[in-house]
């Protein structure tokens, strides 16, 4: 059976959404359009002869690529397609200059990734809940002219320049993108909202200022009340976990943060209160 990995085009998006739905992941066609806009050559579909059999997405930053959405059609598993997709995603990242490929693995897939040369580096917990927020004076909506400065602030915590993701979030969720200034930018939070719910992603503040992280989070909750809210938190960020528990949020599942390559370009989990997304770091 010949396998070919191609860039995802507009006609593949329904297939990609259907595969994620089968896994119970919350993606819609707009999510895949976003991946294609950011990384047209890293948003991939596997074809066996004339059939689509799997997908993955790779988001390339400077020194790191984040891989996500690795899914093979249930009836086509065990034929090497998953391996081929991940290898192609890693290769894409290397071509973009990355030294390391990162991903958040579900526990059932850890062995699969280990077999492909990935090693565990940490864990990420997904917390969900609904809580009352609190409006504060300091958080304010980000302005387009601040995105470069925000990217510079974010860089030591994310480990790379993620300006392209922040710009995309600004366009999609600009009314739920709050920053905190205190002698320069000192934190931000984005609410990737959808009907009835919201993913808090990303959520970043200096490790020595959990008060800023907390105020930003509560402000976002108050600005978009009565929603089911989810956050993916690195287990090392005790301040974020403590705050979420105090608010009554519950852990729903954990993933294993894994790296392939030299291990550079990873996050500083003390400043990352919420990931930008399990699939894109």
Ligand X SMILES: CC(C)(COP(=O)(O)OP(=O)(O)OC[C@H]1O[C@@H](n2cnc3c(N)ncnc32)[C@H](O)[C@@H]1OP(=O)(O)O)[C@@H](O)C(=O)NCCC(=O)NCCS
Q: Which residues bind ligand X (CB under 6 A)?
A: 23, 70-72, 77-83, 105-106, 108-109, 111-112, 115
| Contact status, residue 176 vs residue 198, Cβ threshold 8 Å | yes
Tell me how far, at minimum, the Cβ of 232 lies from ligand X, in Å: 13
Locate all alpha helices (DSSP H) within 103-237, ordered by sequence. 110-115, 147-158, 163-173, 210-223
Q: SS3 letters for 58-73?
A: EEECCCEEEEEEEEEC
Residue nearest to ligand X (CB): 82
Nearer CB in complex with ligand X: 40/111 = 111
Nearer CB in complex with ligand X: 114/227 = 114
Nearer CB in complex with ligand X: 23/246 = 23
Angle, helices 29-38 vs 163-173, to 10°: value is 140
Q: Which residue has 């609904």 as its token pair?
A: 130
Tell me how far, at minimum, the Cβ of 124 lies from ligand X, in Å: 11
Nearer CB in complex with ligand X: 76/146 = 76
Tell me how far, at minimum, the Cβ of 271 lies from ligand X, in Å: 24
Nearer CB in complex with ligand X: 72/201 = 72
Tell me how far, at minimum, the Cβ of 108 lies from ligand X, in Å: 5
| Contact status, residue 69 vs residue 39, Cβ threshold 8 Å | no
Tell me how far, at minimum, the Cβ of 235 lies from ligand X, in Å: 17
DSSP string for 140-177: EE--GGGHHHHHHHHHHHHSS--HHHHHHHHHHHGGGE
Tell me how far, at minimum, the Cβ of 94 lies from ligand X, in Å: 19
β pairing state of 228-234 and 119-129: antiparallel
Provide the CA 218 distance to its chain's centre, in angstroms: 21
Nearer CB in complex with ligand X: 93/271 = 93
Q: Which residues contact 175 (CB under 8 A, 6 or more apart)?
A: 141
Instruction: Give the up-direction half-sphere exposure of residue 125: CA atoms within 13 A in the CB hemisphere.
Output: 16
């Amino acid at each position: 059976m010949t396998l070919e990995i191609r860039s995802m085009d507009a006609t593949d998006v329904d297939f990609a959404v259907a595969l994620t739905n089968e896994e119970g992941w919350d993606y819609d066609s707009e999510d895949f359009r976003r991946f294609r806009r950011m990384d047209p050559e890293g948003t991939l579909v596997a074809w066996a002869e004339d059939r689509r059999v799997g997908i993955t997405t790779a988001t390339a930053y400077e020194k790191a690529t984040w891989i996500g959405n690795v899914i093979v059609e249930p009836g086509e598993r065990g034929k090497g397609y998953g391996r081929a997709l991940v290898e192609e995603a890693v290769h894409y990242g290397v071509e973009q200059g990355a030294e390391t490929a990162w991903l958040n693995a579900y526990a059932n897939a850890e062995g699969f990734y280990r077999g492909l040369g990935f090693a565990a580096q940490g864990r990420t917990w997904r917390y969900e809940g609904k809580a009352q927020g609190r409006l504060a004076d300091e958080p304010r909506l980000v302005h387009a002219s601040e995105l470069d400065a925000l990217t510079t602030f974010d860089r030591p915590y994310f480990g790379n320049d993620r300006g392209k993701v922040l710009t995309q979030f600004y366009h999609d969720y600009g009314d739920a993108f709050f920053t905190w200034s205190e002698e320069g930018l000192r934190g931000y939070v984005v609410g990737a909202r959808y009907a009835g719910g919201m993913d808090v992603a990303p959520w970043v503040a200096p490790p020595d200022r959990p008060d800023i992280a907390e105020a930003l989070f509560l402000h976002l909750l108050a600005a978009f009340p009565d929603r089911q809210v989810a956050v993916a938190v690195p287990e090392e960020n005790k301040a974020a976990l403590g705050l979420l528990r105090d608010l009554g949020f519950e852990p729903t599942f954990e993933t294993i943060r894994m790296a392939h390559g030299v291990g550079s370009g990873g996050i500083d989990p003390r400043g990352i209160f919420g990931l930008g997304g399990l699939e894109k770091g």
